[in-house]
Structure 1
Amino acid sequence: MRVPPALYAAMMQHHAHGVPHAEWHAARIPKDLVPVNARVAWEAARKVAKYPVDWNTPGAGLEFLEFHRTMMRNFLWIRPQAGLTSAFAPWPELPEWLRKLLPEDYLNACLFGIKERIAGGSADELGGFLEATGGFNGLGSNIHNIAHGLIALDEVKRHKSTPGNLADAGMDDPSTAHHNEHFWLLHGWIDNLYASWQRKNNEPHDQSPLNPMLGNEPEMPGDHMHMASAPIPVASPHDMPHAHADAAPTHAHPDPRTDEHGGSTHIHEPDKKGGSDGKNGKNGEGEKGKKPPQPTHKPTLAPALRAILRARFNPL
């Protein structure tokens, strides 16, 4: 499902100040996998991402964790700007509906591999196992990409009659995945796994809201490895807490509820005049009767690069 229009609009406004999600993924494609007709677009993406690490080389796993950590922190800052304070909390563990879509031997190997790397691996190994980077392609790895693909397939089946719910929000395309509610549930879970590793290894880390306009990208590879902040206690990977959601006061009245897939959704209670956004007016309208901006996002990547990335975001 696409995030609510007000949140989408806030994301489009503020995420423009950071490295775009799709361009970051494209920049990590190894050069020998990039078609000649897509080299110019690939080189442009690498300039935007500054110092990308090819997804099949050491360091790619850590970069994966750190980049999406920044996205999660930016999201926690942006969310209250749209009147939401506790919606889209991370999965405490993989939801049952997603587990049922995975082969049992894969799921068992995945959960064991995560636990093993939190207990005794490096952050790069954990990230590499979660995204299948740097040679981590064994049984149980790649849950990130597999989950993206499976969620996309499942949503297409569930929303055949209402395809507008998926417009600009397909989970199988990094150009649009972060406009989907499930993106933040999945990546919140992954970020909490990373926080568990950091806590286990007494590494400083910060999961607090971060203004995306502050210029928070590391200047050189590895700069992000030493963030000076107090550790946030995080439980084991199978008993994760929700993210610190109430980042700022708002005038909305959040009512997080669970959808049929175990995800957290946000529903505004109707006001006395029939509005459902906590303000006077019609459903979904603001104080002056204007509806929030509707999604107008158009993918910026060259089709050849998008095809490579979508192939990675495929299920088993």
Structure 2
Amino acid sequence: MVTMLPPKVKLMLALREHRMHHVLWHIVRDNWEAEDDDGEPVFSDAEKQSIKDIGWEPPRPSLDKDGFRKENNKSGEDFLFMHRQMILHVNTLLSEIGDTSYPKVVGWTRVPPLNDPEYPVPPVWNSAQDSIKTCKTDDYYSNIMVLRENDFTNPEYLSGLTLGQLGSQLEYRIHNGMHLRWASDPGEERPLVYPSDADTIDTKWDNPSYDYLADPYSSHVNHIFWKLHGWIDDRITDWMRARNITGEVPWSVEWDMNIMPQHGLIHEPHLMAKMDDGTNNIINRMEEVAKIVNKPNLITPFSVIDDGII
């Protein structure tokens, strides 16, 4: 049975600070080392310095200059940890709400198969990107996605990976494809680059109804996001079991949770949608980063599929 997010949770996730955090987290780390078609850095040295000054330098870039995974630099741990923090925040609010129909985030037990009655693949629409069309095909599921799922649930395969390698492979070999496969026609889609005469992302995209799964500005507002990321998060448990590890997750890197915004997400006082000077400062800093990264040559989040940009 499909259970939708409680309205209060959806409203919290639709707040601008949550939307900005999620989209910038993905964009900055994906493009930190990227180069355009002319071999020029997507972010200039001056732009990188500005991003650093605002506090948004990624701890580890996730892709190299050509858009391929950096599997061995522990950026995969960043991916797993940040999204586990997102689940923690949602579960905190769910515990306050006490909705017995949705007490906590629970991921899919398996990636929904072909013709799944509860989680069918939404149809392709006319303006859908080629990458979305590809990920929605039966061939993609049967010949790529199900094979990846088998790898990521196979103890023998998992035991040969570091936690960072696991996170990197999950993100780019199956997670991105899952976002695109279960995306529905958004009707009107947010432009990835906002007009040069605009100061920021138009606030009309902050409406809770905008929950497009293929846009990191909105994907986490969609109930499918939490089934998908619950499945991703459960792979950490499988990995620990495969390597006979008990207790806490053995993260090999540390994150300062008092430093916004890379891994602290939105601090607890702001979790319940309270607005104060601290929240406004967080938003203002993210708005500044958004201006810097507002350019047409970006590697767009979720576009790196199976070790290549499609």
Settle same-fold status: TM greater than 0.5. yes
What is the DSSP-based 3-state SS (H/G/I as helix, E as strand, rest coil) of the residue aligned with 1:32?
Answer: coil
Of structures 1 and 2, the one with the larger relative CO (CA 8 A, separation 6+) is 2
Q: How much is the aligned-residue C-alpha RMSD, in angstroms?
A: 4.4
2:60 to 43, 50, 53: 53
Alpha-carbon distance in 2 for matches of 1:75, 1:15: 15
Deviation at 1:167, TM superposition (A): 3.3
Whether contact under 8 Å (2:211, 2:222) holds in the other structure is yes
Pair 1:200–1:55, CA change in 2 (3 A): same
Verify: 1:130 aligned to 2:170, yes or no.
yes
1:92 is matched with which residue? 109
2:95 is matched with which residue? 80
Alpha-carbon distance in 1 for matches of 2:305, 2:160: 29
Alpha-carbon distance in 2 for matches of 1:179, 1:308: 22
2:217 is matched with which residue? 175
Q: 1:1-316 maps to which residues of 2 (within 5 A)?
A: 3-11=5-13, 20-28=21-29, 29-33=31-35, 47-49=54-56, 51-56=58-63, 57=70, 58=72, 59-84=74-99, 85-86=102-103, 88-96=105-113, 97=120, 101=138, 102-114=140-152, 115=154, 116-132=156-172, 142-152=173-183, 155-156=184-185, 167-201=209-243, 202-205=245-248, 216=257, 301=290, 302-304=293-295, 308-310=299-301, 312=303
Alpha-carbon distance in 2 for matches of 1:307, 1:146: 18
Alpha-carbon distance in 2 for matches of 1:82, 1:170: 25
Pair 1:305–1:169, CA change in 2 (3 A): farther
Pair 1:311–1:93, CA change in 2 (3 A): closer
For structure 2, the 5+ residue unaligned runs are 64-69, 114-119, 122-135, 188-204, 250-255, 265-282
Whether contact under 8 Å (1:90, 1:185) holds in the other structure is yes
For structure 1, the 5+ residue unaligned runs are 133-141, 207-214, 225-296
Q: Which amino acid aligns with 2:62?
A: W
Q: Which amino acid aligns with 1:22?
A: V
Deviation at 1:103, TM superposition (A): 3.7
Identity of aligned residues (%): 20
TM-score, normalized by length of structure 2? 0.55
What is the DSSP-based 3-state SS (H/G/I as helix, E as strand, rest coil) of the residue aligned with 1:308?
Answer: coil
TM-score, normalized by length of structure 1? 0.54
Alpha-carbon distance in 2 for matches of 1:48, 1:181: 30
